[in-house]
Structure formats: structure tokens, C-alpha cells
Chains A and B, each alone.
Chain A
């Protein structure tokens, strides 16, 4: 790889937004046909850098060279014409249009009076190259799975004859299978000499996929090199600027009596889910996306209705599962951290303090009248406790970074002070530093005697912090076993086939 010519060279790029210095000296060298990982915590400047590259922002200083020529895109259109294609985390497809219409959107060949000249052959060729023979150009995009939709975006980049494809968290909403398919495609880009700049929070997959890397911290390039010559710990150290000894802290905690008993929970997505949860226990729910993990905790919280099943919460009478409502769940000391922070977890336009206290306003209201002073004071207490980085709790929740937004959601749980907590993907899309803080917090909560269910697609974190683990497969749940009795192979076997290795379970 090293003898490949350089296609893109960035020298000492700076960019400030008012007083905020987002980029203060970024160097980046991308070679032809390589997959280049751009790594950094949230707020390190990755997004700003990508916006500079894709023409959405003009840099304040520094130089950019694309294929030996000076490159100063003034608009996204110019960057696109120069051969830079951007694929965002949130797909930018028009769902009602067809595959071909989407792929050629904005670059249609026009005939008389702007009549669209179809490019079906070209589109078909691009799709075939991506290994998608069975996607018809006339299929409406909304009928395709998320993974396939991502490939449509990539097909667009191919039709554009892009030289560099920038991918921002492309796998964050994909299943493991779709992720593998995507990686296969990315590796094939070499054939066409297309370079990829790959941004992801999933370090393992990044290291598996990429050839070289550049680490950003505080708007500066702090390291770059060959992936093969580094380790994940070294990269993490570059990212956080200190060594991370124990991402998963060990805090001893004791398990007590059963506080939650779920029996035969069933609906469209779940078939007979039963488990018990003890005081002070951290139970991990593993499995593939769509296996029913989120559905389990959501129906226990009453957000989605289960059809049948019984739920017994300590201190309350046994309930039919379909009677559960978020309101009754909260009143019975159950609380849920939603996996979708932006769509569901937070009212982004409202102040931080409102978001923290929203699930337990009763505490500040007598006859409906709110004691705002006391409310803000409490919210401030939790914001400080969780080290939420904000100027004051009256600013909008949406003005904070992902990690801090997640802390607001967690602050709401702590403020409500339920005994049973369901944490759905508690560390999704947040940086390593915040992750470590959240793990510590989860363990501290267990020590206080809370019973916690953690749903996660990221197996290392489940193995790192949970006491016990269950795996889900197509709405069924495996027996709950202590984490030590699970091997990664066992977990993958159940997650992909629903089969338990009986020999291993007899310990």
C-alpha cells in the first residue's frame, strides 16, 4: 500500500466557529484506493473536517490538495464534481422514489425541455458491481432493507465516478449481516482505485476493515499510520490522550432477592420470554438487531404492548403484561433508557433541566403548581453529579454532544430513582471517555441495589460489566447464565441459530 500515490493531502487545516476552534491544525494524507480510518471522540472535529472536505464549510487556514491540484470546494456541488462523495449516518434517500431515481437524483441527464433520459443500464451495472443483481432499478427505495438502502447510496457514489467516498458511521444502524456485506463492497473499492475515508465508533470493525488511520483529538491530528502496526489500546490512548487501563471498572456488588419476574411474554416479536432479575444484578441481553431485545424491555415498560404474559414486580401484585403503561411502570419503580436518544429519549428543543425532571414532575408540584427553583436546583445537582458539560441547565438539550445528551437521559433515570432499570444501548454513538463514565455509573447503581437490564449490540461491553447474560434469537430468550459461563462462541451460536450448547452449560 505504501507505494500508492497520494490522492488527497490536507495540511494544517484550521476552522473556527466564532470563539469555538473546531479544527486547529489537521493533517490528513489519503492514498489512492486505500480505506482510511478517521478516528476520534465526539467533538474531536471529525464532522467539521468532513464538512470542510465536502464543501459545506470553508476552512479558515491550511491547504488541501486533491490529485496534485489545489482543492478549495465552495459548495457541496463543487466537491461532488471534484470526485468526493459523502455518505451520511442518516441516509439521505427519498424513500418514495425508485432506486434509479434516487441514484441519479440531481445528476439526471436531461433531454428536450428537461425530460429525464433514463440511465438504467448504468444503474444496473453499478448495482451488479455491488453484488446486488436482484435489486431492480424501478423498485421504490422504501421497499428495501436498511442495509440495501445504504448500498443505493454507494451506487450513487459509483455513478458519480467518485475518487473518494466518505462514510460517516455507516454501520451504526445495520445488522451484523448487512455490515459484512458492506465491508465486502468497501474492500472492492480498491479495484476501482476509490479511496474511502471511514468514520466509526466501532473500533474493532474499523481495525478489521481499514488500511491506515488518522486520529483526531481536540481538532488536531495526533497520530496516523498503518493499522497493521498498531493496537487498539494504542489508538484509544491517542483518542483520549491518556491510557485507558480499565474501560470496564470492577466494582463489587451483591445480588439479593428477585425483584422482577417475567413469564411468557409474547407478541408479534416475542415468543414466551421469561426471566428473573435480582436486586443488585446487571443482566445483559445480547443478540442480533431485531431478535427482540429492545422489544422485550419496551413491552415491559409499556411503550409497546405485549399481547400475553405476566409480570411480577416486587412489592406489587402480578400484572398482565398488556396492562403496562409507561406511567404505571414508572409508578412501579421501573424505568427505561431509550435506545433512540434523538427521536425518543430527549426533547432536544427544551432545556436540560426540563428533560431531567420530566418523568417525575410530581415531586415539584402541589396541586399542579411547579416549584421551579427547587426543580432547577435538583436538575443542577444531577448535571454536576454526572459531569454533564453545559453552561447551565437552562440551555437546550440539543446543544450538547451525544455523550452529554446520553448523560441527560441517564440523569432522568437517576432523578426518578427507580429500582429496576432497563438500559437499551446505553453507550451507542458516544465517545470512549463517556462510555467509561457510563459503565462506572451502571456498576455503582448495581452496588446501590438497583436491578439493571442492559441491552447491547456490543458484546465486549456486556461481557465487561454484566453479572449474568441471556441471548435472544427471533423473539426467544436463552436461559440466563452467569457471564463467566458464556463463551463468545456460545453467544454467537444462540444469537444466530437459537441453539444452546448443553455441554457447556453444565458447569
Chain B
């Protein structure tokens, strides 16, 4: 896990590899060098651990305020499981936001995914009244594919016609929701008993797994995304395009092709999130995840992602999602009304961006 913590923006590689200052200026600049290293360190600490410090803070806050059941193992499992859907989708959104884009259609895509999954499951009902194994796999893949197609279309239109993703995904938000309602005949789609429904259970089967499947899948995806962003050429291109698209073009990077991939992969995560959403609901629901894209974007931003691109990290986004889940859970335990939670989360989003600003000012 430690290696992933280091992942916040690819700036930090390995402090052991350092250029030596040219010796001519070494003497005069020695103390200056020293001082600005400290400045750098503070900046590093803020940018790397800022979200983590925030998470520790809210957890401690509720340990003090909330009843002891807050930090029971059962409740920790609950919080982690509640983070799964937003967390997985936030990983995809992280890639999109680092590239300087945004996806407002994620919530609709997730709803579309649940409907597609439910529809396919219903095609394969066995005589015993359950879904057959093959159809379960097919349903999961179908949900992912439905979302990926949405992302592919977004990427294609954004890249080829040079439109702002805000508008394109605003359109896709309506389209995906509409298609979901169309397929589902504007009602929830009931489904037979099947394996997917167990993914979001708090107590996993087999019990030695400690956490449910969803939590583990999130952790694996987190590690994969972090590695993709830091160690893969694709990840580097994502950062380059987000930081300065013109530079990326100048350096021979095929920006259009990369953008199509970025939105497709982003939606791939939405597709996986839709499986988890289905598992939670156990029905296909075309009105599910309404407005969830805003939670997802908030998670990325709280985690240090910059909407102007070039900044963000997988770990940060997951922590961002965790902060929101802890807040909701803790507030519920304290019996704080829903509207207060909303006010607090709103304040945290603005606060996170403010801290980001401060971070940039320290040099």
C-alpha cells in the first residue's frame, strides 16, 4: 500500500535519484537550496498526504463524537462496502480528470449497466428459477460493455470534433439514462437469484476473505490504476495531455486516439461500478445512481485531482470517496439529519479545492 501512497501525481519518483547541482553555484546557493528543499517537502507532504490527513481527521472526529459502534469492525466493513461503487467509478474518473476532461454521464452509465445486466440475466433463467452461470458472466460483461460503448462514443466525439467533454457528456447523461429507461420499459427489472448479488455482501463467502468481494475488487482496481498512471506510457500520456495538450501533440502523441481510450477506460470502470450497483439493488433500475457522478467527481477533487488537468491520483480519489463515506456513516450514527450531511460534504469539496490552491502557492 505504501507504494501507492507515493502515487500522488507522478512528480515523486524516488528521491534517491537526484541531479547534482552544478558545482559552480553549489557554494552560494547551498543554503537557498536547503531552504527551498524544505518548502518542497511541505508541498510534497501536503500534496501526498493532504487527503489522507483529511481522512484521519474525520475518522478521529467520529471516534470522539460518535458512539463506540462507529469503530466496530462491523461498521468499518460497512463503510468500506459503501465506498465501493463511488470508489471504482472515481478511479475511472481520475484518469479522465487528469487528462483535463470530465464525465457527467457516469451516473447514467451505471444505471444503464444495471438494466443491461438484469436484462441479460433474465434471458438465462434455469428451471430452478436461478440464473445460469454462463449468463451471469455474460451479464457482467454486458454491463461493462454497455458503459464502455458510451465512453467510446464520448471519446470519439470529443476528440474528432474537438468538443468540450462537459457538453458531450452532459448529452450522454441524458442519452444513457434514456436508453436505460427504454430497455427497462421505464420500470425496475426484477432478476432471478444469481452470483452477482453476493458481491456487495458485508460478510463474504468464504469467510476467510474478511471483506466482501466488492472491497477486494476495489483494492485490486486501485492498484492497477495507480500502476497504469505511473508506470505505463499510457498514463504518462494522460498526464501530458491534461497538463498541456499542445505539448503532447508536439511530442508526437496521438491526442485523439488517447482521448478515445481515456473515456473508454473511464467508462469501463463505470461498468464495473454498475455491477456493484446491481449487486446492491438486485434489480436493474433505470433511475439508479441519479446524480452519483457529482459524488464521483467530488471524490477525485477531494483526493487532489485538478479539474484543469495534469493532477490527480488513484489513491487520492479512493481516499476522497472514503472521506465522504465516513462522513455519511458517522453523521447517521450521530443522528445528524441528511441535510446537514449535505452541507458538510459541500463544504469539504470547497475546502479541498482551497487547500489545493494553498498547496500551489507554497514554493
Residues from 210 to 244 in B contacting A, C-beta threshold 8 Å: 230-234, 236, 239-240, 243-244
Candidates B10, B13, B233; contact of A365 at CB < 8 Å? B233
Measured between beta carbons, the chain B residues less than 8 angstroms from A349 are: 243-244, 310-311
Interface assignment of B160: CB less than 8 Å from any CB of chain A? no
Measured between beta carbons, the chain B residues less than 8 angstroms from A20 are: 32, 36
A354 touches B20 (CB 8 A): no
Extra contacts besides A338-B246, A347-B244, A399-B363 (17): CB < 8 Å: A19-B32, A325-B252, A326-B252, A327-B253, A330-B251, A340-B246, A344-B246, A354-B239, A359-B251, A368-B232, A369-B231, A370-B232, A370-B236, A380-B18, A389-B25, A391-B19, A395-B40
Interface assignment of B11: CB less than 8 Å from any CB of chain A? yes
Write the nearest CB–CB distance from A234 to chain B, whole angstroms. 25
Count of chain A to chain B residue pairs whose CB atoms are closer than 8 Å in the complex: 127
Measured between beta carbons, the chain B residues less than 8 angstroms from A391 are: 19, 21, 33, 36-37, 40
| Contact A384/B19 with A336-B250, A391-B33, A412-B251 known, Cβ cut-off 8 Å | yes
A326 touches B22 (CB 8 A): no
Residue among B19, B39, B246 having the largest count of chain A Cβ atoms under 10 Å: B19
Residues from 450 to 499 in A contacting B, C-beta threshold 8 Å: none
In the complex, what residue of chain B is closest to A371 when comparing beta carbons?
A: B231
Measured between beta carbons, the chain B residues less than 8 angstroms from A387 are: 22
The CA of A20 and the CA of B32, in the complex, are separated in Å by: 7
Interface assignment of A114: CB less than 8 Å from any CB of chain B? no
Q: Which 5 A-B pairs have the closest CB atoms?
A: A347-B243, A19-B35, A344-B246, A359-B251, A327-B252
Interface assignment of A207: CB less than 8 Å from any CB of chain B? no
Write the nearest CB–CB distance from A384 to chain B, whole angstroms. 6
Residues of A that sit less than 8 Å from B by CB: 18-20, 303, 325-327, 329-331, 336, 338, 340, 343-351, 353-355, 358-359, 361-362, 365, 368-370, 372-373, 376-377, 380, 383-384, 387, 389-396, 399, 412
Measured between beta carbons, the chain A residues less than 8 angstroms from B338 are: none
Measured between beta carbons, the chain A residues less than 8 angstroms from B39 are: 18
B310 touches A350 (CB 8 A): yes
The CA of A348 and the CA of B308, in the complex, are separated in Å by: 13
| Contact A347/B240 with A372-B13, A377-B17, A393-B19 known, Cβ cut-off 8 Å | yes
Measured between beta carbons, the chain B residues less than 8 angstroms from A394 are: 11-13
Write the nearest CB–CB distance from A58 to chain B, whole angstroms. 17
Write the nearest CB–CB distance from B258 to chain A, whole angstroms. 12
B11 touches A351 (CB 8 A): yes
Interface assignment of B164: CB less than 8 Å from any CB of chain A? no
Candidates A18, A325, A348, A412; contact of B35 at CB < 8 Å? A18
The CA of A303 and the CA of B251, in the complex, are separated in Å by: 10
Write the nearest CB–CB distance from A107 to chain B, whole angstroms. 29
Write the nearest CB–CB distance from A375 to chain B, whole angstroms. 8
The CA of A369 and the CA of B19, in the complex, are separated in Å by: 23
Candidates B19, B25, B244, B251; contact of A392 at CB < 8 Å? B19
Write the nearest CB–CB distance from A247 to chain B, whole angstroms. 20
Interface assignment of B357: CB less than 8 Å from any CB of chain A? no
Residues from 3 to 51 in B contacting A, C-beta threshold 8 Å: 10-14, 17-22, 25, 31-33, 35-37, 39-40
In the complex, what residue of chain B is closest to A362 when comparing beta carbons?
A: B233
Interface assignment of B332: CB less than 8 Å from any CB of chain A? no
| Contact A344/B244 with A365-B233, A376-B17 known, Cβ cut-off 8 Å | yes
The CA of A349 and the CA of B11, in the complex, are separated in Å by: 9
In the complex, what residue of chain B is closest to A353 when comparing beta carbons?
A: B13
Write the nearest CB–CB distance from B319 to chain A, whole angstroms. 21
In the complex, what residue of chain A is closest to B21 when comparing beta carbons?
A: A391
| Contact A345/B231 with A18-B39, A373-B14 known, Cβ cut-off 8 Å | no
Interface assignment of B156: CB less than 8 Å from any CB of chain A? no
The CA of A122 and the CA of B137, in the complex, are separated in Å by: 76
A326 touches B239 (CB 8 A): no
Measured between beta carbons, the chain A residues less than 8 angstroms from B236 are: 354, 358, 361, 370
Measured between beta carbons, the chain B residues less than 8 angstroms from A372 are: 13-14, 230-231
Interface assignment of B248: CB less than 8 Å from any CB of chain A? yes
Residue among B20, B243, B248, B311 having the largest count of chain A Cβ atoms under 10 Å: B243
Candidates B10, B25, B35; contact of A354 at CB < 8 Å? B10
Write the nearest CB–CB distance from B343 to chain A, whole angstroms. 32
A343 touches B246 (CB 8 A): yes
Interface assignment of B205: CB less than 8 Å from any CB of chain A? no
Question: Can you list 28 A-B pairs with a CB-CB distance of less than 8 A?
Answer: A18-B39, A325-B252, A344-B244, A344-B250, A345-B247, A346-B247, A347-B239, A347-B244, A348-B243, A348-B244, A349-B311, A350-B240, A350-B310, A354-B10, A358-B240, A359-B250, A359-B251, A365-B232, A368-B234, A370-B231, A370-B236, A372-B13, A372-B230, A376-B14, A377-B17, A384-B20, A391-B33, A394-B11
In the complex, what residue of chain A is closest to B249 when comparing beta carbons?
A: A326
The CA of A362 and the CA of B252, in the complex, are separated in Å by: 11
In the complex, what residue of chain A is closest to B17 when comparing beta carbons?
A: A376
B36 touches A19 (CB 8 A): yes
Write the nearest CB–CB distance from A27 to chain B, whole angstroms. 23
The CA of A66 and the CA of B37, in the complex, are separated in Å by: 39
Write the nearest CB–CB distance from A398 to chain B, whole angstroms. 10
